[in-house]
Each structure stands twice: as structure tokens, then as C-alpha cells.
Amino acid sequence: SETRRKLLELFSQAKGDFISGQKISEILGCSRTAVWKHIEDLRKEGFELEAVRRRGYRIIKTPDKITANEIQFGLKTEVLGRHIYFEEEVDSTQKIAHKLAYEGAPEGTLVVAELQKAGRGRLNRTWFSPKGTGIWMSLILRPPIPPQKAPQLTLLTAVAISQAIQEVTGLVPDIKWPNDILMNGKKCVGILTELQAELDQVRSVIVGMGVNVNHQLSEFPEEIQSVATSLAIEKGSPIKRAELIQEILFKFETLYHQYLQHGFLPIKLLWEGYAISIGREVVARTLHGNVKGKALGITDEGVLMLEAADGTIHYIHSADIEL
């Protein structure tokens, strides 16, 4: 409401200082009781307010909201995130993005939710996506590439998210081929790239991104507590999700332009700067069995090269890597 907007503006101008109830009621043109009711409403929405006799009210903490408005206000991109579908609660943002893409949604359309009841990982694994602490979003792209090149976009996404995390938090993440972003060896980001394609041409790529931002360790299900982490755990303080989303979209757009103009090579170089698996003995768990060997790096196409003990080079297109 208009009153709500004015009240938030007052608090924002006060920059954390107290404002007396008297002054608020004068400026808003309502009774002291009405002011108190507005304050209670703000508390219900997640604002933390302190009330002190004779001094008034002050805001201690604003809620970490990610509505479409919050994301678009201050967004630096031209195309990505210019159409946003925000939902409080969904099964999976991937599912919605697939439907929108099929119906012709333009490139850059973003689906974001506060909570996923059935968040998906690869190979029908589940992705834990609780309310209010993470970024759960799916981006629709329409790159003019053949389907077999689409996995390169997974690597591009990993670079974009890593750069954004570094920019916003100062933390430097590691990328484990192909789609894990780790902090101190624990997963804080998952990427799921899915396609709608003809035989020789992609119609759309749906890039699903899950970022654990403000979770505490105890908030993760027990079975992933030893392998999962959040940015707030690693940094030691909370991070504004809307700001991180904006930065991810900005880095993504820059890399995506480079990719469309110059191909995968410039992305490969940036990717290698974050990669941790390279040069190490790993096991690649593929759908056709396990391959053990030393990770030599990725090809100019983004395919992982493993050198087995007998010197054979294996080209891995898709797998889970164990370090």
C-alpha cells in the first residue's frame, strides 16, 4: 500500500536511526495505533524492528526478499532476466521454464521461486530447495548451436556463477567438472542444463541454477551435511540473494555474448582458472561404467580428458567425478 511504501521510505532515510511513533503518525497521517499495526505487519514479513520507549522504532534488519521487483531494480543486463516469473512455491522452476520455452518465451526469461517442493538434480536426483535461504532459478536461452554443444553452456554457467560469487562475497570457489561449484570441498551450487532441440538445432536451453546462499549447516538434511555448504557458512555472514542473482545474470550475459561471437575457447580459459579436478587422479562414474585416470583437462569443446594407467586417453562427455 501507499502507507507501507511511505513508511519503508522513512526508515530507509533514517538509515538505522530511531524515528518516534509521533513523527511517523504525523508523516503518514494516521493514528499511533495504526502505526503500531503497520510495524507488526512489517515484523510478520521478516523485518526486524526495535521499539524503545520515548525513542521510537528503528529497523535492524530488512528481509532478504527475491521478488521480481527486487531482481529487476538495479539489474545491469540487456536481455537476461528482463522477463521474470516469480513464484513463492513451485515443484521445480525447470518444469515451469520448459513450459514457457515451449510456448515461445523469449531468450533471457527467468523463472525464480522461494521454495521448490521437487527440485531436480541430474539423473532424477533431488535438489534440496528450502524456503527463503537459496537461489532456485531457471534461465531460458535460445542459442543458435547444435545440441551436442549444449554441455558447453553448463561450463559457461559454472564460470558465470563463480565470477558472481567472487564479486559479491570475495570468496573464490572451485569448479569440479562438469557442474559442481565447491567451497572447501563442499558443494554450494548445482547446475542442471536441459534442452529442447531438433536433431541439428537447439530450440531452447533451460539452465537450472541452485545456489545455497544463507543456509546454516543444521538446515541441510543430515544425509548431505557432510557434502553441502552455503555461501553464508563459508563467509560467516549473510548475503543478499537479489544482489547475487543480479550479478550472476550480468556475468552470464557477458560470457554468453563472448561465447556466441568467439565460440567456447575464451570460456574454456576462464573455466580452467577455477577448475580443481585437473592434474589429479579421479574416478569418472559414467552411465557405461567407471573410468579411472588422471584428469588432463578439457578439450576445446569442453569434453573431459582422462589418462588411464595404460596411457589410453578417455574422452568423457558426461559423468560424476570423484576426486
Question: What is the binding site for ligand BTX (CB under 6 A)?
Answer: 92-94, 116, 119-122, 125, 127-129, 136-138, 179, 187, 190-192, 208-210, 212, 224, 228
Sign of CA dihedral 290, 291, 295, 301: negative
State which H helix or E strand residue 294 sits in.
strand 289-298
Nearer to ligand BTX, 145 or 161 (CB): 161
Phi, psi of 132 (to 5 degrees): 85, -5
Q: How far is CA 19 from CA 33, 48, 50, 138, 186, in A?
A: 15, 15, 11, 41, 44
Q: How far is the CB of 226 from ligand BTX (least distance, A)?
A: 10
Eight-class DSSP state of 22: H
Nearer to ligand BTX, 96 or 298 (CB): 96
CA distance 5 to 213: 28
Nearer to ligand BTX, 52 or 123 (CB): 123
Q: How far is the CB of 154 from ligand BTX (least distance, A)?
A: 10
Nearer to ligand BTX, 217 or 308 (CB): 217
Nearer to ligand BTX, 21 or 208 (CB): 208
Burial of 201 (0-12, 13-18, 19+ CB in 10 A): exposed
Burial of 223 (0-12, 13-18, 19+ CB in 10 A): exposed
Q: How far is the CB of 140 from ligand BTX (least distance, A)?
A: 12
Q: How far is the CB of 95 from ligand BTX (least distance, A)?
A: 7
Nearer to ligand BTX, 128 or 264 (CB): 128
**200 SS3 class:** coil
Q: How far is the CB of 125 from ligand BTX (least distance, A)?
A: 4
Q: How far is the CB of 268 from ligand BTX (least distance, A)?
A: 21
Nearer to ligand BTX, 168 or 213 (CB): 213
Q: How far is the CB of 93 from ligand BTX (least distance, A)?
A: 4
Q: How far is the CB of 317 from ligand BTX (least distance, A)?
A: 15
Distance, first Cα to last Cα, the chain: 54
Nearer to ligand BTX, 1 or 218 (CB): 218
Burial of 26 (0-12, 13-18, 19+ CB in 10 A): exposed
295 within 8 A of 282, measured Cβ to Cβ: yes
